Amino acid sequence: MTTLAEPARRTAGAPPAPDGHLNDLRDEAIHVLREVAGQFDRPALLFSGGKDSVLVLHLALLAFRPAPVPFPLLHVDTGHNFPEVLAFRDATAERAGARLLVARVQDSIDAGRVRERPDGLRNPLQTVTLLDAVAEHRFDALIGGARRDEDRARAKERIFSLRDEFGQWDPRRQRPELWQLYNGRHLPGEHLRVFPLSNWTELDVWRYLAREDVPLPELYRAHRRRVLRRDGMWLPESPHVPLRAGERIEERLVRYRTVGDVTCTGAVESSAVDYPAIVTEVALSRTTERGATRADDRVGQAAMEDRKREGYF
């Protein structure tokens, strides 16, 4: 049996941001984005207005400038998103000169494709809406902002990852991916998911966004918000988050580490109002962003793997 002593905190905190390392990550992502443009007929970039997708769009603009980004943006809207993030999404897409397509979970519910869950969570329903959008627009590649450091099922993902004609990921049958020779060939009906940020960590993302001063939705900065405590997280006051017995609304100084559906994204208590403070906070954090703030990942040890198999982002 393994024995485990408390390690000496010889690496408490993190080393200063290495510029060369961030440039390497940037250029790897640009290389991946250009491979998508070179290998696919109908790619799309998944764009929610969250920090990772903002970074991917920022890198796509760098990859193709002065030409425009050669693919549209696609957002799967659960109908439970933060209004200020949706406004940021629209403004950013317009500033980038990119076409924004929105696929709505509400439309899938109205069409009888999915049924509202008893717990009201719409995050799990997104997969059907997403795959319907892939079929409708005949997308052959979807670019996502997922990173391998987010979750241990994601840690297994290739950069070019094949989905079968049902949109499913089979982790036991992943293609070998050698060198930087990304293989996007596929049969009709199949598509690829492409992850240019695979090798970035949460800290890398923040350091890069800070270095380049990339605009983000305001809720990533510390702000006063009316929130309620649930499952160890601060959920926002919202019509989509009805109070349960024993819960009460209080005002706290919080910020978001990840931004998704209102019903399952928690805020963290923080006083970090600008990039330097946020970078310091993330560097010193002893929890992962998903562990800290995502109810949907707390369902079980294989929650992400199961959702990914079905075709989730």
Partner 1 sequence: MTDTLLRVVAAGSVDDGKSTLIGRLLHDSCAVPDDQLAALLAAGHDRGTGLDLSLLTDGLRAEREQGITIDVAYRYFATPRRSFVLIDTPGHVQYTRNMVTGASTADAALLLVDVRAGLTDQTRRHTAVVAALGVRHVLLVVNKMDLAGWAEPAFRAVEREFRALAERLGIAAPVVVPVSAATGDNVVELSAAMPWYAGGPLLARLEDCSAAPADARPARMPVQVVLRAGEYRGYAGRIESGVLRPGDEVVALPSGATGRIAAIDAAGRELAEAGAGRSVVLRLHEDLDISRGELLASAADAPEPTRDLTGTVCWFSPRPLRVGARLLVRHGTQVTRAVVRGIGDRFDPATAGRLPGAAELELNALASVTLRTMTELPVDAYDRIRATGAFLLLDEHDGDTLGAGMAVRPGSAA
Rank residues 42 and 226 by Cβ distance to partner 1 and give the closer one: 42
Angle in degrees, 0-180, between the axes of helices 19-39 and 202-212, rounded to the nearest 10: 90
Rank residues 62 and 86 by Cβ distance to partner 1 and give the closer one: 62
Distance in Å, CB of 109 to partner 1, minimum: 30
Q: Does 245 bind partner 1 (CB under 8 A)?
A: no
Indicate the residue type of 44. Answer: A
Indicate the residue type of 129. Answer: T
Residues 41-60 that bind partner 1 (CB under 8 A): none
Residue indicated by tokens 């439970």: 80
Distance in Å, CB of 12 to partner 1, minimum: 6
Residues 271-290 that bind partner 1 (CB under 8 A): 285-288
Compute the CA torsion angle 270, 272, 277, 279 (nearest 10 deg).
60
What 3-state DSSP class applies to 100? strand
Residues 98-137 that bind partner 1 (CB under 8 A): none
Q: List, in sequence order, every beta strand (DSSP E) within the chain.
A: 43-46, 73-77, 100-104, 141-143, 160-163, 191-194, 223-230, 233-236, 250-256, 267-269
Rank residues 31 and 113 by Cβ distance to partner 1 and give the closer one: 31
Using the rule CB under 8 A, give the single segment among 18-26, 92-100, 107-115, 131-139 that binds partner 1.
18-26
Which pairs count as long-range contacts for 16-24, CB under 8 Å and 24+ apart, including other chains?
17/207, 17/211, 17/279, 19/211, 21/204, 22/204, 22/207, 22/208, 22/211
Distance in Å, CB of 199 to partner 1, minimum: 6
The HSE-up count of residue 202 (CA atoms within 13 Å, CB side) is 22
CA distances from 244 to 227, 230, 261 (A): 13, 9, 18
Q: Does 4 bind partner 1 (CB under 8 A)?
A: yes
Rank residues 118 and 300 by Cβ distance to partner 1 and give the closer one: 300
Using the rule CB under 8 A, give the single segment among 28-36, 89-97, 106-114, 250-258 that binds partner 1.
28-36
Rank residues 8 and 245 by Cβ distance to partner 1 and give the closer one: 8
The backbone torsions φ and ψ at residue 257, rounded to the nearest 5 degrees and listed phi first, read -95, -30
**Torsional class of 307: left (φ above 0), alpha (ψ -120 to 50), beta (otherwise):** alpha
Q: Does 7 bind partner 1 (CB under 8 A)?
A: yes
Rank residues 238 and 285 by Cβ distance to partner 1 and give the closer one: 285
Residues 150-189 that bind partner 1 (CB under 8 A): 151-156, 158, 171-172, 174-181, 183-187
Distance in Å, CB of 186 to partner 1, minimum: 6
Q: Does 35 bind partner 1 (CB under 8 A)?
A: yes
| Residue choice 115, 239, 248, 301 for contact with partner 1 (CB under 8 A) | 301
Sequence length of the chain is 313
Distance in Å, CB of 43 to partner 1, minimum: 12
Q: Does 97 bind partner 1 (CB under 8 A)?
A: no
